[in-house]
Amino acid sequence: MNIKAVQGFKDILPGEAVLWQHIEHKARSIFHRFGFAEIRLPLLEETELFARSIGQTTDIVEKEMYTFVDKGLTLRPEATASLLRAFIEHGLHVQQPVQKLYTMGPMFRHERPQKGRLRQFHQLDAEIIGAPEPAADAELMAMGSMLLAELGLTASLEINSLGCTDCRPAFREQLVTYLRRFAGEMCADCQRRMESNPLRALDCKSQHCKKVVADAPSILDALCPGCRDHFDRVRDYLAFLGVPYSVNRFMVRGLDYYSRTTFEFTTTSLGAQSAVGAGGRYDGLIAQLGGPELPGIGFAMGIERLILLLQQQGELCPAPAAQTEVFVAALGEEAGRYSLALVHLLRRQGLRAAMDHGGRSLKAQMKQAGRLNARFTLIIGDNELADRKAVLRDMAGQSQEDFGLQDSPETCADSLYTLVTNRLPVNERPDCIRRD
């Protein structure tokens, strides 16, 4: 068999999965602190949902979606549209006027795979629905910053405003008039999108386009009084909460549904894939999808990019890697039977216990205990079992002592559990870990 994983789809092996668990755990902890509840969504939706929300002329809808053409279904390329679909379908706003929801999981986009860019990638996604106030924008961005900070990562927050349906059309006209003068100097994509989606030229990566838009009119000068005030207050609250940010008037984001505040968490250490997370306000979208007139704001962070940053910035998972508390090395058939029961009972008590079933030599089993990072190893041979006396080795201290075995593995498990947990640091004891 020579079947390999599909290009852009990646296996996450156990060593890396520990980092994923760390990120997911930290994200949940922070989202819960901010009052967000989890929602779990299907990976497949009607294609129409994405066309109507993300926008027909965006990169995602134009060329990146995995669509089953004959069925009219698409693997979700992002989470907001699905989340709002579920929100509307279940009438969630009836229960509570302001809803804070988060979800995490895989997204699918047919892009050119490279470092930090996959075809199946994963996002942490958080949305606040029903809160039009600028304080909600600031709170959400503060939450993103807190998550990055608690992961030990350095990223910058950039913000912009895209105005609303009152002020954006006039700005769009102003921009098109300006861009038309330089059309010949711009990349093919921007020329093609000049009429359909001219704002995308503002954050085009092509050096030619960058040069052209450097002197383009700024959307921030074109905001209506309502959008101007909203943006000023968002800035004020961010400063008030001590969240560092900078204004980037060229940021437009690749999804059509945004209005007013947009933002990105960026880093200089991931090459071209500089965005770790991004989001914005989408005040008209819920109504546009057939739901109530409610505003919303959300962001998504890419887990693969967080992992790359964790690996680069050296802040590797501070949580204890899965560690074995007790390894039982059994020598001989009777000892093996007794140990099987003992290990099972220790696990039932909450300890991470392991043994080897292969009847290998003591040396091989001690090596295995080392590989499993065991804290203690209990050595039981058939003779020791007969004498009811085993040897308990403290793997860190390299010391060992006799450990009396009782006839019943239950009694033995109880005393071994007490002995071992008393010697573990308080925060690593099973009852502590379980509470976490």
Structure tokens at 16: 């890396």
In angstroms, give the least distance from the CB of 147 to ligand ATP: 13
How many CA atoms within 13 Å lie on the side-chain side of 199? Answer: 25
CA distance 145 to 276: 11
* C-beta closer to ligand ATP: residue 6 or 364: 6
CA distance 96 to 105: 25
> Pick from 53, 99, 103, 123: which binds ligand ATP (CB under 6 A)?
123
Decide if residue 275 touches ligand ATP (CB under 6 A): yes
- Touching ligand ATP, residues 66-95 (CB under 6 A): 78
Decide if residue 277 touches ligand ATP (CB under 6 A): yes
By CB under 6 A, the count of residues binding ligand ATP is 19
Decide if residue 117 touches ligand ATP (CB under 6 A): yes
> Pick from 45, 304, 325, 384: which binds ligand ATP (CB under 6 A)?
304
Cα 302 to Cα 139, 277, 287, distances in angstroms = 20, 6, 27
Decide if residue 276 touches ligand ATP (CB under 6 A): yes
* C-beta closer to ligand ATP: residue 121 or 237: 121
Q: Please name which of 38, 103, 36 lies closest in space to residue 76, comparing C-alpha atoms.
A: 103
> Pick from 105, 132, 217, 254: which binds ligand ATP (CB under 6 A)?
254
Decide if residue 257 touches ligand ATP (CB under 6 A): no
In angstroms, give the least distance from the CB of 305 to ligand ATP: 4
Stretch that binds ligand ATP, among 287-295, 298-306, 327-335, 426-434 (CB under 6 A): 298-306
* C-beta closer to ligand ATP: residue 52 or 352: 52
Decide if residue 278 touches ligand ATP (CB under 6 A): yes
In angstroms, give the least distance from the CB of 268 to ligand ATP: 14
Q: Are 392 and 398 in contact (CB under 8 A)?
A: no
User: Would the CA dihedral through 168, 170, 171, 172 be positive or negative?
Assistant: positive
Cα 301 to Cα 20, 145, 231, 275, 373, distances in angstroms = 13, 11, 22, 9, 33
* C-beta closer to ligand ATP: residue 207 or 398: 207
Q: CB atoms < 10 A from the CB of 428, how many? A: 13
In angstroms, give the least distance from the CB of 380 to ligand ATP: 49
What type of residue sits at position 406?
Answer: Q
Decide if residue 300 touches ligand ATP (CB under 6 A): yes
Decide if residue 302 touches ligand ATP (CB under 6 A): yes
In angstroms, give the least distance from the CB of 198 to ligand ATP: 18
Phi then psi for 359, rounded to 5 degrees? 60, 35
* C-beta closer to ligand ATP: residue 162 or 278: 278
Decide if residue 273 touches ligand ATP (CB under 6 A): yes
**Sequential DSSP letters for 150-208:** HTT---EEEEEE---TTTHHHHHHHHHHHHHHTGGGS-HHHHHHTTT-GGGGGG---HH
Decide if residue 127 touches ligand ATP (CB under 6 A): no
Stretch that binds ligand ATP, among 67-75, 114-122, 149-157, 412-420 (CB under 6 A): 114-122
CA distance 107 to 82: 11
Q: Are 224 and 167 in contact (CB under 8 A)?
A: yes
Q: Are 279 and 263 in contact (CB under 8 A)?
A: yes
In angstroms, give the least distance from the CB of 274 to ligand ATP: 7
Decide if residue 158 touches ligand ATP (CB under 6 A): no
In angstroms, give the least distance from the CB of 152 to ligand ATP: 17
> Which residues, 6 or more positions from 277, have their beta carbon under 8 angstroms from its beta carbon?
124, 144, 148, 155, 264, 265, 299, 300, 301, 302
Using CB under 6 A, list all residues that contact ligand ATP.
78, 109, 111, 116-118, 121, 123, 254, 273, 275-278, 300-302, 304-305
